[in-house]
Structure 1
Amino acid sequence: MKYKVSAGVSPLNFKLRLLGVVSFMTLFAGVIVFRLYNLQSAQHQRWLKMAASQHGSSVEVQGARGTVLDSAGRPMAVSVTSASVGVHKSKIKDLHSLAKKLSPIIAQDEEAIVEKIQAAKKFVWLARGLPRPVGDEISALGLASVSSFASFRRHYPQGRIAGPLLGRVGREGRGQSGVERSFDEHLVASDYRFVVQRDARGRLVKASTSEDYLDAGMSLLRGLVGEARTIGSAEALSLDRDQVWGDFSRKEGVALQLTIDTFAQAILEEEFAVGRSDAKAKSVFGLVMDADSGEILAMAQTSDFDPNQLDNVKPSELRNVVVQDNFEPGSTLKPLIVAAALDEGIISLEQEMDCEDGRYKFGRHIIRDSHPVGEVTVAEVLVQSSNICMAKIAQELGRKKLYSSL
């Protein structure tokens, strides 16, 4: 190939310039190719992660806790559909404007919303357990930084009935007291992990679960303390184990059935309230037990609360005093001692005993009766509730037999 060389330019200089231009173009093309290779291959995963962080994120939402039933299968604690509202901090353009829009909808103070968001790193829950219409209203705003997710909240259909016994569930979905806490590991369901996808403007495109429906298992627990029995099918408790709601399957914890009878529980609580008022007592508590099986049919106390209310509940109201407080049995133990002595043939109901006219020295101690009597039958000892004669019967029975009989 021949090149036409301009006047004043030697052929050698022209070839050198041409070689320089070609070399530069070749080097430039090589840099571009290397950069493209570096982006597409060596740094491929890095850019994928960056794109994922900009257009999507994952959020965990609580599953439905297992249902708690009474002895007749009546629901005492259930999980109902609700909405949870969260904010993606990186998508917020005007924090105070956002807080102003959300405040009246989720019933929270604007400043409180601002503080929650500022304290978060990436994502923060603003409210959980909201009614579904509230979640729909927030979704209708079309805010790129706000997401409303389908979730569950705990509901107690019987209201205050058996409140301290059932306990309650906190905002994080974990049992805080009562049956809800004692059997939390069985009642709790695995969480949902949502992959939230957004378009270039940050608007929510879709939300889907990244894990398959896990079979939580269905069990029947009869009694506050007892063995679990497996139920053959979900229909036995009228529960749909694959209830599709929105675009995910409902995950449920294990269902528990108690020996408590809701009607007996309501009657006992009502009678305790009347008795407390009539006797001007500080508190009344007790239980109803099936003498043959030992099953607890009702367990009540006058200091109760509504487990549906999460706010303004005192810690003392969450306490089930029947099983959590120590209470000296006193004279209620006397019939058991007499029964044990009768079984051993040590005494008879017609046998007469000397109650020492209300004062009896036992070792270094003095035992007294509030109603002093002399010689009476064993049957009358129970009627008079004599501490002195009861101590004599227990002494005749002996420590080992007394312990084993109780």
Structure 2
Amino acid sequence: RNVISNNTQLGISISGSNATAIVFAINGSGVGYSRMKYKVSAGVSPLHIKLRLLGVVSFMTLFAGVIVFRLYNLQSAQHQRWLKMAASQHGSSVEVQGARGTVLDSAGRPMAVSVTSASVGVHKSKIKDLHSLAKKLSPIIAQDEEAIVEKIQAAKKFVWLARGLPRPVGDEISALGLASVSSFASFRRHYPQGRIAGPLLGRVGREGRGQSGVERSFDEHLVASDYRFVVQRDARGRLVKASTSEDYLDAGMSLLRGLVGEARTIGSAEALSLDRDQVWGDFSRKEGVALQLTIDTFAQAILEEEFAVGRSDAKAKSVFGLVMDADSGEILAMAQTSDFDPNQLDNVKPSELRNVVVQDNFEPGSTLKPLIVAAALDEGIISLEQEMDCEDGRYKFGRHIIRDSHPVGEVTVAEVLEHVSYTKLTLPTKRTK
């Protein structure tokens, strides 16, 4: 019997495996009690304990087996798969466009060079407010807001808004931090001499390949190979390692080593453009072969100016020609009146891109007369005072009849040159053969 408190006593009676508990409650108002019965365990058998232990051990063994199998599956069976997935998430290759080779004149003055520029594109799926985006970009890339909206709406996933922009413009766009806009560093072709030798030099397309003129004829030498970088990032997109998979360059690698560990967080939309900014420099540029022409810029400018004056005075449709070094045969200048500025090609017609001096077919006419007469004089076939009958401008040569536009009769060889007679030129030519 136990006294629980001043007002309560407890009495318990036990018989075998049964127990009866009687609780007495005593207070100022009287005495009350309650009775309850319960069964007392006589103990757990050894077999029951063994079964419980076996169950626990079996469960732990099965659990450990599942873990081991899963580890084997991840590290051995699917090792390559997870490596590729990790590489795709944390690593990427970045191509830095190489600079196209420089074109020089005979004195080493630049006629065509590659300068750094920026191209701006938009990822349509990442745009939150189209009109707000257009409003921000419009003054920077100098395009109308509605034109920007129309370009983006017409695109499926990605659209170029502008290419060949000055480099500071690309930097300004990157500074906006817009996830849907990417500014890519690239090169654009620049012609320091302006309109001088425009048709001769030709043009380069948006993909950096020559489309006409010298740019096309020597494209395989001028074109540059891209410079590929492999970069790795942590989970937050920070650059943790950079290396080259191609074209190991000491100077370029020293720059890359300086980037290792740099923890500047960048968004996926601008990752490529920032990487290109980081690895940019003359030492990491892979340029095409420099090309030096026999053209003299000063002679070219004088020839083009004289052609423009001559065309105006003679009211001719076109004027074209070249200046050649008589001793070496080098072309010092090659010009035509249908010229253009290769820096401004927006309104240039395809026909204006032709270098008519070398691309068009035409009858040489009087151009070859001095050469024919000189060859005949050198062979002793004729003399300048020798008289010839021009047969009133008609001469049959085989099945063909050669006609003069200005028929003449008896003239000397010197007068043949003066009066533009082609009929008598066939005679010394035939004798020379």
In structure 2, which of residues 350, 355, 370 is the aligned counterpart of residue 335 of structure 1?
A: 370
Matched, 1:180 2:212: no
CA distance in 2 between counterparts of 1:279 and 1:73 reads 35
CA distance in 1 between counterparts of 2:59 and 2:338 reads 89
User: Deviation string for 1:378-401 (max 9, x for gaps)?
Assistant: 11111xxx89964344xxxxxxxx
- Of 364-373 and 318-327, more deviation after overlay is shown by 364-373
CA distance in 1 between counterparts of 2:85 and 2:94 reads 17
- Of 216-225 and 266-275, more deviation after overlay is shown by 216-225
Q: 1:313 to 1:365 in 2, by over 3 A?
A: closer
Conserved in 1, the CA contact under 8 Å of 2:402 and 2:422?
no
Conserved in 1, the CA contact under 8 Å of 2:99 and 2:187?
yes
Cα deviation for residue 197 of structure 1 reads 5.0
Conserved in 2, the CA contact under 8 Å of 1:164 and 1:320?
yes
CA distance in 1 between counterparts of 2:262 and 2:44 reads 103
Q: Structure 1: which 5+ runs fail to align?
A: 394-404
User: Deviation string for 1:224-270 (max 9, x for gaps)?
Assistant: 99999999999999999999845961221111111101011111111
Q: 1:280 to 1:155 in 2, by over 3 A?
A: same
TM score, norm. by length of structure 2:
0.71
Q: 1:239 to 1:308 in 2, by over 3 A?
A: farther
User: Deviation string for 1:267-320 (max 9, x for gaps)?
Assistant: 111111111122221111111111111100000111111111242222112111
CA distance in 1 between counterparts of 2:256 and 2:88 reads 44
Conserved in 1, the CA contact under 8 Å of 2:94 and 2:272?
no
- Of 55-64 and 254-263, more deviation after overlay is shown by 55-64
Cα deviation for residue 357 of structure 1 reads 3.0
User: Deviation string for 1:191-231 (max 9, x for gaps)?
Assistant: 02244555545577887654345699999999999999999
TM score, norm. by length of structure 1:
0.76
Larger Rg: 2
Q: 1:177 to 1:201 in 2, by over 3 A?
A: same
Cα deviation for residue 188 of structure 1 reads 1.4
- Of 23-32 and 202-211, more deviation after overlay is shown by 202-211
Instruction: Tell me which residue corresponds to 1:302.
Output: 337
Instruction: Tell me which residue corresponds to 1:279.
Output: 314
SS at 2:411 equivalent: strand
- Of 360-369 and 273-282, more deviation after overlay is shown by 360-369
- Of 127-136 and 152-161, more deviation after overlay is shown by 127-136
Q: 1:239 to 1:122 in 2, by over 3 A?
A: closer
CA distance in 2 between counterparts of 1:221 and 1:35 reads 38
User: Deviation string for 1:62-83 (max 9, x for gaps)?
Assistant: 2111111111111101112223
- Of 336-345 and 93-102, more deviation after overlay is shown by 93-102
Conserved in 2, the CA contact under 8 Å of 1:241 and 1:250?
no
Q: 1:174 to 1:232 in 2, by over 3 A?
A: farther
Q: Structure 2: which 5+ runs fail to align?
A: 1-35, 426-431
SS at 2:67 equivalent: helix
- Of 69-78 and 51-60, more deviation after overlay is shown by 51-60
SS at 1:218 equivalent: helix
Conserved in 1, the CA contact under 8 Å of 2:237 and 2:268?
no
Conserved in 2, the CA contact under 8 Å of 1:84 and 1:149?
yes
Conserved in 1, the CA contact under 8 Å of 2:202 and 2:216?
yes
Conserved in 1, the CA contact under 8 Å of 2:255 and 2:279?
no
> Percent identical across equivalent pairs?
97
User: Deviation string for 1:92-125 (max 9, x for gaps)?
Assistant: 7777765664454344577887898899999876
In structure 2, which of residues 235, 239, 248 is the aligned counterpart of residue 200 of structure 1?
A: 235
CA distance in 2 between counterparts of 1:200 and 1:289 reads 65
Instruction: Tell me which residue corresponds to 2:160.
Output: 125
Matched, 1:163 2:198: yes
CA distance in 2 between counterparts of 1:61 and 1:190 reads 9
CA distance in 2 between counterparts of 1:235 and 1:13 reads 67
- Of 99-108 and 154-163, more deviation after overlay is shown by 99-108
Cα deviation for residue 85 of structure 1 reads 4.2
CA distance in 2 between counterparts of 1:232 and 1:111 reads 27
CA distance in 1 between counterparts of 2:269 and 2:364 reads 43
- Of 54-63 and 252-261, more deviation after overlay is shown by 54-63
Cα deviation for residue 187 of structure 1 reads 1.1
CA distance in 1 between counterparts of 2:294 and 2:269 reads 20
SS at 2:161 equivalent: strand
Number of aligned residues: 392
- Of 365-374 and 232-241, more deviation after overlay is shown by 232-241
CA distance in 1 between counterparts of 2:265 and 2:292 reads 12
Matched, 1:225 2:257: no
Q: 1:180 to 1:113 in 2, by over 3 A?
A: same
CA distance in 1 between counterparts of 2:51 and 2:256 reads 93
CA distance in 2 between counterparts of 1:276 and 1:229 reads 62
- Of 212-221 and 191-200, more deviation after overlay is shown by 212-221
Q: 1:326 to 1:229 in 2, by over 3 A?
A: farther
Instruction: Tell me which residue corresponds to 2:423.
Output: 391
- Of 219-228 and 9-18, more deviation after overlay is shown by 219-228
CA distance in 2 between counterparts of 1:354 and 1:8 reads 149
Q: 1:20 to 1:223 in 2, by over 3 A?
A: closer
Conserved in 2, the CA contact under 8 Å of 1:354 and 1:389?
no
Conserved in 1, the CA contact under 8 Å of 2:252 and 2:284?
no
Cα deviation for residue 143 of structure 1 reads 3.7
Q: 1:208 to 1:247 in 2, by over 3 A?
A: farther
SS at 1:229 equivalent: coil
- Of 122-131 and 237-246, more deviation after overlay is shown by 237-246
CA distance in 2 between counterparts of 1:231 and 1:378 reads 82
CA distance in 1 between counterparts of 2:210 and 2:185 reads 21
Q: 1:169 to 1:245 in 2, by over 3 A?
A: same
- Of 246-255 and 97-106, more deviation after overlay is shown by 97-106
